[in-house]
Amino acid sequence: MENNPQQRPRTSGALLAALIIMTGLAGVSSYLYFNQKQVSENQEVTIAERVEELSNTRVKLDSISTALDAKIAEVKKLGGNVDELLKVKAQLENDKAALRKGNAANTRALMAKYDAKIKEYEGFLMEKDTLIAQMQRENGVLKTTNETLNTENTSLRTERQVARDSVRTFVAQNEDLTAKVTRAAALKAQNVKVYAVSNKGKVKEDDAYKAKRLDKIKLEYTLLDNPLTREEPKEVFVRVLDPDGAIVSDMANGSGTFQVDGNETVYTTKQTVNYTNNTQKVELLYTRGIPYKPGKYTIELYSEGFKIGSGAFAVR
């Protein structure tokens, strides 16, 4: 069977047209594929950039928060008012919370808003830096002034203490000098002698006296010259100590008490002597109501708190 010569060109044309259509479709498909891929890649880049912007904004806000905490602590340390700082810190925390809840679809507008806030916060921090620097200078001047006052106060206290010590030293020296002068001005008795006086008034001097003949004793002594001693009436206290060391006394017969070295003691008898500062001799007669027991007796003389002389006699 023979082929139809007119059918072949028709078949070839159809195939060609189909091929052209398929090629066009393939080109359109490739274009759409690559275009979609480019769009996706661009979207991924945009999302990454927005995430980075959000992250950077959060970091800046955290840094500002840390700086605010430092400023609050410093102002408190300097004794300043932190109310404004605390108010700004509270606002910052609100902005940080709002950023975490922000609309991702409108990131560009959100970032612009927060960039403006960050600039405001940074300006506020710079303003507070200036204020803090001024407070530090003022506190430095105040500290220097206080240190100067403390130094002057310490110096004044030291000077006052030195003055008090000097006064105490002077008083002590004066008291010591007064004591020495007083001691030096004390009466001094020498040649203290004791005589026996009978009931008939006969005076006898002996190494030892018989008790039955010793009705009275006569005391005789000499007051030496002393230019430091005032010429005035002086009280002289006499203590008679028996062989056992006890003080012979009779309160009904003129005995009493007086002070010696700040202590109270008993005296046997006393007399008032008009001191004339001319080596004067003094006599004293003492009558005891009871007999003397045998042994050695001691006579002690005192005036103005000082022991001025002594003597002794014996009874057999």
Give the burial class of 57: count Cβ atoms within 10 A of its Cβ; 0-12 exposed, 13-18 middle, 19 or more buried.
buried
pLDDT band at 70 (very low <50, low <70, confident <90, very high): very high
Burial class (CB in 10 A: 0-12, 13-18, 19+), 137: exposed
Q: What is the pLDDT of residues 17-26, one digit of tens each?
A: 777 777 777 6
Which of 233, 238, 241 has the alpha carbon at shortest distance from 256?
Answer: 238
> CA of 287: how far to CAs of 29, 212, 220, 232, in Å?
162, 14, 15, 27
What is the per-residue pLDDT for 178? 58
Structure tokens at 182: 């007083």
The neighbour count for residue 38, using CB atoms within 10 Å, is 10
pLDDT of residue 79 exceeding 60, the answer is yes
pLDDT tens, 274-307? 999 999 999 999 998 788 999 999 999 999 999 9
Residues 95-110: pLDDT tens digits? Answer: 888 888 765 556 777 7
Tens-digit pLDDT profile for residues 22-68:
777 766 666 666 666 665 555 555 566 666 777 888 888 899 999 99
DSSP string spanning 41-71? Answer: HHHHHHHHHHHHHHHHHHHHHHHHHHHHHHH
Q: Where are the alpha helices (DSSP H) in 78-106?
A: 83-100
Annotate 268-277 with b (16+ C-beta within 10 A) or e (fewer): bbbbebebeb
